[in-house]
């Protein structure tokens, strides 16, 4: 079994939403957790609410030096690294023709290069510890396409592929790497979306951050023979569309 006692975890984008729920769940699992985020005030409040088993660290995931500092902080406070959850991400509503090249690159820097930097610097620490788990929070946008979200879709497909490459490279060190693919989840990022967008999926509602966190905890503690795998929680949205009942005979 994967022993979490005396070990540390880093959760990026941990100040709120999915990240905050994941941080809370990992503390409950017995890990010491670094809540890493750009949002200093909200991140500190989240870490403070979790007590002595959590600390906040400022992190711009595109900054390599800050990654080193955050990982050092995790191990100095709570012991050898056991878990990295790459959750931080941004979305830009821009299509192929409309999105500015600079914004496209920015989305890739945060949503794809950022997780790569995290894995790049975490992998030697996990090897040294003899085991570990990396969970990359992708999206259903990493399983299918969405119009008007070119950069986001590209980054989430890339993160899915990066997960598989890392799983192949790190398996010999006992390190598992998996991706999570949420559908619409009720978070600050989705606050502006039409809540009725979920009515065409089998479970006609938005998911909750705690449901994603429960999946992450399962991957860490329970899915011990899974690596390079995709875990989907999307209300059935990628299964297809729920069609309306016919109005009547001959309609």
pLDDT for residue 251:
44
pLDDT for residue 63:
98
Residue 251 lies in a domain: no
Residue 3 lies in a domain: no
Residue 74 lies in a domain: yes
Residue 247 lies in a domain: no
- Domain with 13, as residue range(s), is 8-234
Number of domains into which the chain is organized: 1
Q: Is 78 in the active site? A: no
Whole-model pTM? 0.93
Residue 241 lies in a domain: no
Residue 198 lies in a domain: yes
Residue 62 lies in a domain: yes
CATH, residue 147: 3.40.50.720
Query: Which burial class, exposed, middle or buried, applies to 46 when counting CB atoms under 10 A from its CB (0-12, 13-18, 19+)?
Result: buried
Q: What is the pLDDT along the chain (251 residues), one digit of tens a residue?
A: 678 999 999 999 999 999 999 999 999 999 999 999 999 999 999 999 999 999 999 999 999 999 999 999 999 999 999 999 999 999 999 899 999 999 999 999 999 999 999 999 999 999 999 999 999 999 999 999 999 999 999 999 999 999 999 999 999 999 999 999 999 898 776 666 666 665 678 888 889 999 999 999 999 999 999 999 999 999 998 998 776 654 454 44
Residue 165 lies in a domain: yes
Closest CA to 233 of 156, 161, 181: 181
The neighbour count for residue 126, using CB atoms within 10 Å, is 24
């Amino acid at each position: 079994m994967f022993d979490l006692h005396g070990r540390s975890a880093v959760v990026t984008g941990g100040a709120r939403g999915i990240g905050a729920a994941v941080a809370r769940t990992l503390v409950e699992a017995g890990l010491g957790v670094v809540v890493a985020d750009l949002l200093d005030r909200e991140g500190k409040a989240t870490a403070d609410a979790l007590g002595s088993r959590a600390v906040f660290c400022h992190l711009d995931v595109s900054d390599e030096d800050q990654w080193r500092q955050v990982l050092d902080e995790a191990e100095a406070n709570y012991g050898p690294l056991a878990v990295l959850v790459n959750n931080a991400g941004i979305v830009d509503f821009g299509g192929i023709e409309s999105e500015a090249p600079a914004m496209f690159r920015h989305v890739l820097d945060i949503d794809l290069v950022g997780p790569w930097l995290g894995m790049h610097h975490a992998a030697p620490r996990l090897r040294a510890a003899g085991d570990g788990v990396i969970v990359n929070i992708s999206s259903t946008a990493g399983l299918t396409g969405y119009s008007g979200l070119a950069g986001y879709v590209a980054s989430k497909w890339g993160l899915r592929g990066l997960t598989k490459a890392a799983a192949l490279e790190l398996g010999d060190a006992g390190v598992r790497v998996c991706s999570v693919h949420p559908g619409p989840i009720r978070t600050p990022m989705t606050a502006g979306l039409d809540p009725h967008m979920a009515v065409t999926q089998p479970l006609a509602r938005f998911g909750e951050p705690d449901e994603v966190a429960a999946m992450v905890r399962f991957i860490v503690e329970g899915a011990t023979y899974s690596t390079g795998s995709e875990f989907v929680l999307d209300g059935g949205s990628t299964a297809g569309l729920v069609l309306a009942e016919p109005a009547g005979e001959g309609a």
